[in-house]
């Protein structure tokens, strides 16, 4: 990967909400004789060489990085489906949350990154953004060995150190962003009850 570029992932309600409004080129994973394998979320806003038949990038995204092209991934995120505006999102994120909602399997089944982890969640039951972020981090294979520790021990034992040799880890910034997203979802669900 070209060291001058960061990996840019942006969560959106629908990728097409962005790509239909701006000129961009679909990234491709592989180039085939009859068709190109489209990258699920990646696009380029740069003038990248085009495949004139497929109207996609003419270079697979891994090679395109080596040539200095910056792919941006727009990730479809269902958590935004019931949010009508940025103002509503900010209001929901900043509103106090009822942490007891995490004890309800129906609620948890609706929550981003938590929906398949109800039984593990019951063993930890976060009560703050920090604890929720730590829980999201300890779910990752590279940090599962910290699960039985308390929140402070997790942090002092390197939960935010990114060492992929032990398995996939989540960055601290991502964990806190996802924790805020979950708070938004929880408060939206509470408003609908």
Q: Mean pLDDT, 10 residues at a time, over the chain (193 residues)?
A: 64 84 90 78 93 90 92 85 90 96 95 93 97 97 95 96 83 93 95 85
β-partners of residue 19 are none
- Residue 1 is predicted with a pLDDT of 44
Reading across the β-sheet that carries 8-12, which strands appear in turn?
Answer: 8-12, 72-76, 36-44, 25-31
Total tally of structural domains belonging to the chain: 2
Quickly list DSSP for 134-187: HHHHHTSGGGGGGTTS-HHHHHHTTTT---GGGS----HHHHHHHHHHHHHHHH
pTM: 0.73
Q: In this predicted structure, what is the pLDDT of residue 80?
A: 83
Please report whether residue 118 resides in a domain.
yes
Q: Does residue 175 share a domain with residue 136?
A: yes
Looking at 32, 58, 76, the residue that finishes a domain is: 76
Say what the pLDDT of residue 6 is.
61
Per-residue model confidence (pLDDT) at position 166: 78
pLDDT at residue 163, as a whole number = 78
- Whether residue 19 is found in the same domain as residue 86: no
Structural domain contains residue 112 = yes
Residues 54 and 95 in one domain: no
Which of 35, 57, 76 is the last residue before a domain boundary? 76
**Residues spanned by the domain of 116:** 79-192
Residues 114, 182: one domain?
yes
Assigned token pair, 162: 């990114």
Q: Are residues 129 and 187 in the same domain?
A: yes
Asked if 94 and 174 sit in the same domain, the reply is yes
Residues β-bridged to residue 57 = 50
Given 76, 101, 121, the domain boundary residue is: 76
Pairing of strands 56-57, 25-31: unpaired
Q: Are residues 109 and 122 in the same domain?
A: yes
Say if residue 46 is in the same domain as residue 107: no
Cα separation of 106 and 115, whole Å?
Answer: 9
Let me know if residue 3 belongs to a domain.
Answer: no
Q: Is residue 2 part of a domain?
A: no
Does residue 95 sit in the same domain as residue 130? yes
Instruction: Indicate if 99 and 174 belong to the same structural domain.
Output: yes
Q: Is residue 116 one of the residues assigned to a domain?
A: yes
DSSP annotation of 123? H
Same domain as 26, residue 52: yes
* Residue 45 counted as domain residue: yes
Same domain for 84 and 44, yes or no, is no
Provide the angle, in degrees to the nearest 10, between the axes of the packed helices 129-138 and 172-192. Answer: 120
């Amino acid at each position: 990967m070209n060291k001058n570029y960061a990996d840019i992932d942006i969560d959106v309600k629908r990728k097409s909400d962005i790509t239909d409004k701006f000129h961009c080129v679909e990234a491709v994973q592989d180039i085939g004789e009859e068709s190109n394998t489209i990258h699920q979320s990646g696009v380029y806003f740069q003038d990248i060489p085009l495949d004139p038949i497929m109207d996609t990038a003419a270079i697979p995204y891994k090679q395109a990085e080596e040539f200095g092209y910056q792919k941006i991934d727009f990730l479809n995120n269902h958590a935004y489906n019931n949010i009508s505006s940025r103002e509503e999102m900010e209001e929901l994120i900043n509103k106090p949350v009822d942490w007891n909602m995490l004890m309800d399997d129906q609620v948890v089944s609706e929550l981003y990154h938590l929906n398949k982890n109800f039984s593990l969640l019951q063993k930890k039951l976060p009560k703050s953004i920090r604890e929720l972020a730590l829980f999201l981090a300890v779910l990752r294979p590279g940090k599962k060995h910290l699960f039985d520790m308390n929140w402070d021990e997790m942090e002092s034992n390197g939960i935010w150190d990114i060492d992929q040799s032990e398995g996939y880890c989540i960055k601290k910034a991502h964990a806190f962003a996802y924790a805020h997203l979950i708070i938004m979802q929880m408060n939206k669900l509470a408003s609908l009850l």
